[in-house]
Chains A and B, each alone.
Chain A
Amino acid sequence: MAMQKVETEAVLKGKVRKEFAWKIISDYSRYEFFMENVDKVNILERTPTQGKSEWFVTIEEAPLKWVERDYYDVDNFELRFESIDGDFESIRGRWKVENYQNEGIKIFFIIEYDLGIPVIEEVLGHILKEKMKTNIDSMIHAIKEELTKSQDDDRKYPRYNIGKYNNISLNEKFVRAFIVNVSQKGMMFYYDGEFDAQNILVKIQDLGIEAEALFNDLKHKNIRIIFKQIISQTQLESLVGFLGSNSIRAYERENIDKYMPILFNDSAYSVFVINISPKGILFKYDGTFDWRDEMFELAGVKLLAREVHHEIASKTIRVAFTDTLNDIFFADLLKKIKEFDLGQQQMELGY
């Protein structure tokens, strides 16, 4: 019998972020706590983009089980799955979260299934389809309820804007993160490194807080974490005070202040390098560049960067490296820049 398809959707109006819905949808391990028909989901494998999960679901007293491969597309808020073993001959589907009109989100949930027992599946036909539809309706309803609950919960605790870089300990490792805001319940920050998003230990000042990521937007590097226990108002005030007064730059900049040639598109341009950091270079130049992730050479080192700011009046240009340089590479580049002798270079370039 051909695959049968059932689909459903839910709309949440208002200030609802796709990330919040994504967090709930993509965390299968919690389904059993808020979906009546889901008995258990065992996460067998999980990477940021793929997973394998084992499902135990009861549809009107009929226990069903299967193992599926899951494909997480966080950029598009789409989760696809396909069974590899279990009661169904095949069951596949997808969750998708989209913006809804001007404000709000729309969640789609589609399932295609093939029970695979000849005769019985034909006889059951529309009866099973109705039950599957009721089942996915109840699942999406549970997601909606959970989302509404978490939104309501989240709004109970006011957020304090920080907007500064700080050194924080994330899972016992000091990292530079741009702290967007903090509340008694959680914190939002930008960080582009990797870490275990499910079991987070944040240490700031003397306060160690266990948390889990509500969402981890790998594309935009923004992360919202939820504290496992609400912190007190006193602790929050102390945190806000510390984060506000102990901010650091994202990356320390090394002042260079000398003329150097930049090799770009087979031409050499003499620029005055003001400073450099693992994120990029600030220099002065009379003319204009049009960089879009292009290769150039500085002090004999090939680099890939894009122009991020060009101030005509002061003739300063800031370019950002396409990928932040790691510590070893940056130290080597810095050493070569500092050792660079313009006279020698001029001779080699035939100035």
Chain B
Amino acid sequence: MDNESEKLKNTKVAFVAHPADMEMYRSYIRFLKPDKTYDDKLLLKLFEWSPSYKVTEWTNLTFDGKSFFDAMFVMVPFLPEMKDIRLKKIVEKIDQALAIASEQQCKVAALGAFTSIVLQGQEKNFAQKHNINLTSGNTLTAATVVRSIEQISAKLGVALQDTTLGIVGASGDIGSACVSYFQNKVKTMVLTARSESSLQTMVKNLDSKPECTLEITTDNKAAVSKSDIVIFVTSSYVPMFTQNDFKPGTIVCDASAPLNVTISDKPRKDVFIYHGGILSLPFSLDPGFDIGLASPYTFYGCQIEGALMALDSTLPCSWGRGNITKEKLGSFLQKLYTVPRLDISYSVGKHTYSEEELENYKKEFLHSKNASFRRCA
């Protein structure tokens, strides 16, 4: 390839991902083979045996109509339901995915869901091996989550400074970034994780002393029941809550993959639940099958971080745990303000909330607040 055509070539990002759960994988198989159903155990084994592979690619994508990039979706055949699979085998599959991305001349590989957790601590080695930038995408996810909380609470008439914010999975990478961001913006924070000591360590490592009241617990249920806003950022592969577990007037941002909150066919009118960490885009990223999003014009923040990095080489990558500094978060929050037509998406399941629905929630929240006030009086 001559220098001129090399110059014309778009920068490229690889979205390295796996289905969030069994249902999403079943739906993928239904897309591939619509007329048949298979035993879950068989499907799991076929997937376990499979090496990583390229699913599809998109070309000439742009936010601003000036800078273009290409993207490809590399499947890592893994599911959290694969309980017997060896860690070494998953690492092997991620290694294969990165080899494909590198071969296809991707500048960045964004590691989605468990792939980033599995590779934690080894990112540098793999980046060097495949000559590719790696990112977990956690910084943009965290930026998307905190920005969405600020935005939606304002829209629904919830004053952040008066609220109790519950963060489930607070000691994780995204969780701790949220704690750091909101420590001076809410009245109370209730932080939960599987281990109390990891929460204490995380709080101790905060840049400044939090101005809000801080509660630490391992009791998720208690934390959720007293919170006005709840953020889920766990690595649990089973749902932890249903929509009925929240008090009226609660905002729930579920940014876990797989999701932690189960929604019924009839969503509650007095609890606003949305899929956190999702961005709306000016272009479609439709692989043809269900990837757990409401619209092809939305995508996971963690993957879009890779795209932004491919377009802007000054952006830092997200590696490891607890490395989302205020500065890093700030630079991605800045992108949310400056990149044209890159917005927060509010959706639940296959449904994207309309402005009218948000208005109705606002009314319902006001009603809940008054009712609560009357009860107190």
The yes or no answer to B50 lying at the interface (CB within 8 A) is: yes
The verdict on A62 contacting B45 (CB below 8 Å), with A117-B29, A119-B53, A127-B50 known, is: yes
Query: How many Å from the CB of B182 to the closest CB on chain A?
Result: 43
Residues 119-140 of A contacting B (Cβ, < 8 Å): 119-120, 123-124, 127-128, 131
Q: Is the interface of A mostly helix, strand, loop or mixed?
A: mixed
Most chain A C-beta atoms within 10 Å of own C-beta, residue among B32, B36, B39, B50: B50
Using Cβ atoms and an 8 Å threshold, which residues of chain A touch B38? 87
Residues 11-64 of B contacting A (Cβ, < 8 Å): 29, 32-33, 36, 38-39, 41-42, 45-47, 49-51, 53, 55
Contact for B51 among A62, A87, A123, CB less than 8 A? A123
Query: How many Å from the CB of B47 to the closest CB on chain A?
Result: 8
Contact for A124 among B32, B33, B50, CB less than 8 A? B50
Query: How many Å from the CB of B111 to the closest CB on chain A?
Result: 20
Contact for B41 among A61, A116, A119, A128, CB less than 8 A? A61
Number of contacting residues on B, CB 8 A? Answer: 17
Q: Are A62 and B42 in contact (CB under 8 A)?
A: yes
Using Cβ atoms and an 8 Å threshold, which residues of chain B touch A61? 41, 45
The verdict on A63 contacting B39 (CB below 8 Å), with A117-B32, A120-B32 known, is: yes
Using Cβ atoms and an 8 Å threshold, which residues of chain B touch A62? 41-42, 45-46, 49
Residue of B nearest to A127 (CB): B49
Q: Are B53 and A117 in contact (CB under 8 A)?
A: no
The yes or no answer to A311 lying at the interface (CB within 8 A) is: no
Q: Are A116 and B50 in contact (CB under 8 A)?
A: no
Using Cβ atoms and an 8 Å threshold, which residues of chain A touch B33? 116-118
Residue of A nearest to B47 (CB): A120
The yes or no answer to A64 lying at the interface (CB within 8 A) is: yes
Using Cβ atoms and an 8 Å threshold, which residues of chain B touch A115? 46
Residue of B nearest to A64 (CB): B42
Using Cβ atoms and an 8 Å threshold, which residues of chain B touch A117? 29, 32-33, 46
The yes or no answer to A206 lying at the interface (CB within 8 A) is: no
Number of contacting residues on A, CB 8 A? Answer: 18
| Whole-angstrom CA separation of A131 from B36 in the bound complex | 22
Query: How many Å from the CB of A113 to the closest CB on chain B?
Result: 13
Query: How many Å from the CB of A272 to the closest CB on chain B?
Result: 74
The verdict on A123 contacting B29 (CB below 8 Å), with A62-B45, A63-B41 known, is: no
The yes or no answer to A60 lying at the interface (CB within 8 A) is: yes
Q: Are A119 and B42 in contact (CB under 8 A)?
A: no
Using Cβ atoms and an 8 Å threshold, which residues of chain B touch A65? 39
Using Cβ atoms and an 8 Å threshold, which residues of chain A touch B51? 123, 127
Query: How many Å from the CB of B17 to the closest CB on chain A?
Result: 15
Q: Are A128 and B49 in contact (CB under 8 A)?
A: yes
| Whole-angstrom CA separation of A61 from B45 in the bound complex | 7
The verdict on A131 contacting B49 (CB below 8 Å), with A117-B29, A119-B32 known, is: yes
What is the number of contacts between chain A and chain B, taking CB atoms within 8 Å?
48
| Whole-angstrom CA separation of A60 from B84 in the bound complex | 13
Q: Are B46 and A124 in contact (CB under 8 A)?
A: yes
| Whole-angstrom CA separation of A118 from B77 in the bound complex | 15
Residue of A nearest to B77 (CB): A123
Query: How many Å from the CB of A146 to the closest CB on chain B?
Result: 27
Q: Are A63 and B42 in contact (CB under 8 A)?
A: yes
Query: How many Å from the CB of B94 to the closest CB on chain A?
Result: 16
Residue of B nearest to A59 (CB): B45
Q: Are B39 and A116 in contact (CB under 8 A)?
A: no
Using Cβ atoms and an 8 Å threshold, which residues of chain A touch B53? 119, 123
Q: Are A87 and B42 in contact (CB under 8 A)?
A: yes
Query: How many Å from the CB of B29 to the closest CB on chain A?
Result: 7
| Whole-angstrom CA separation of A61 from B39 in the bound complex | 12
Residue of B nearest to A61 (CB): B45
| Whole-angstrom CA separation of A60 from B85 in the bound complex | 13
| Whole-angstrom CA separation of A316 from B143 in the bound complex | 110
| Whole-angstrom CA separation of A65 from B42 in the bound complex | 10
Contact for B45 among A60, A116, A119, A123, CB less than 8 A? A60
Using Cβ atoms and an 8 Å threshold, which residues of chain A touch B36? 87, 116
Most chain A C-beta atoms within 10 Å of own C-beta, residue among B33, B53, B77: B33
Residue of A nearest to B46 (CB): A120
Contact digits for B138-149, partner A, Cβ 8 Å, 1 yes 0 no: 000000000000
Query: How many Å from the CB of A331 to the closest CB on chain B?
Result: 61
Query: How many Å from the CB of B96 to the closest CB on chain A?
Result: 11
Using Cβ atoms and an 8 Å threshold, which residues of chain B touch A60? 45, 49
| Whole-angstrom CA separation of A120 from B53 in the bound complex | 10
Residue of A nearest to B37 (CB): A87
Residue of A nearest to B50 (CB): A123
| Whole-angstrom CA separation of A62 from B38 in the bound complex | 11
Query: How many Å from the CB of B311 to the closest CB on chain A?
Result: 30
Using Cβ atoms and an 8 Å threshold, which residues of chain A touch B55? 119
Using Cβ atoms and an 8 Å threshold, which residues of chain B touch A118? 32-33
Query: How many Å from the CB of B52 to the closest CB on chain A?
Result: 9
| Whole-angstrom CA separation of A62 from B39 in the bound complex | 9
Using Cβ atoms and an 8 Å threshold, which residues of chain A touch B77? 123
Residues 54-81 of B contacting A (Cβ, < 8 Å): 55, 77
Using Cβ atoms and an 8 Å threshold, which residues of chain A touch B41? 61-63
Using Cβ atoms and an 8 Å threshold, which residues of chain A touch B50? 120, 123-124, 127
Using Cβ atoms and an 8 Å threshold, which residues of chain B touch A123? 50-51, 53, 77
Using Cβ atoms and an 8 Å threshold, which residues of chain A touch B29? 117, 120
Query: How many Å from the CB of A54 to the closest CB on chain B?
Result: 14
| Whole-angstrom CA separation of A87 from B55 in the bound complex | 23
Using Cβ atoms and an 8 Å threshold, which residues of chain B touch A64? 42
| Whole-angstrom CA separation of A119 from B47 in the bound complex | 11
| Whole-angstrom CA separation of A19 from B55 in the bound complex | 51
Query: How many Å from the CB of A4 to the closest CB on chain B?
Result: 14
Most chain B C-beta atoms within 10 Å of own C-beta, residue among A60, A62, A63: A62
Residue of A nearest to B55 (CB): A119
Q: Which 8 A-B pairs rank lowest in CB-CB distance, beginning with the nearest?
A: A62-B45, A123-B53, A123-B50, A117-B33, A118-B32, A62-B42, A127-B49, A63-B41
Q: Return 13 A-B CB contacts under 8 Å, by A number.
A: A60-B49, A61-B45, A62-B41, A62-B45, A62-B49, A63-B39, A64-B42, A117-B33, A120-B47, A123-B50, A124-B49, A128-B49, A131-B49
- Given A119-B32, A123-B53, A128-B46, output 4 extra A-B contacts at Cβ < 8 Å: A62-B42, A115-B46, A120-B32, A124-B49
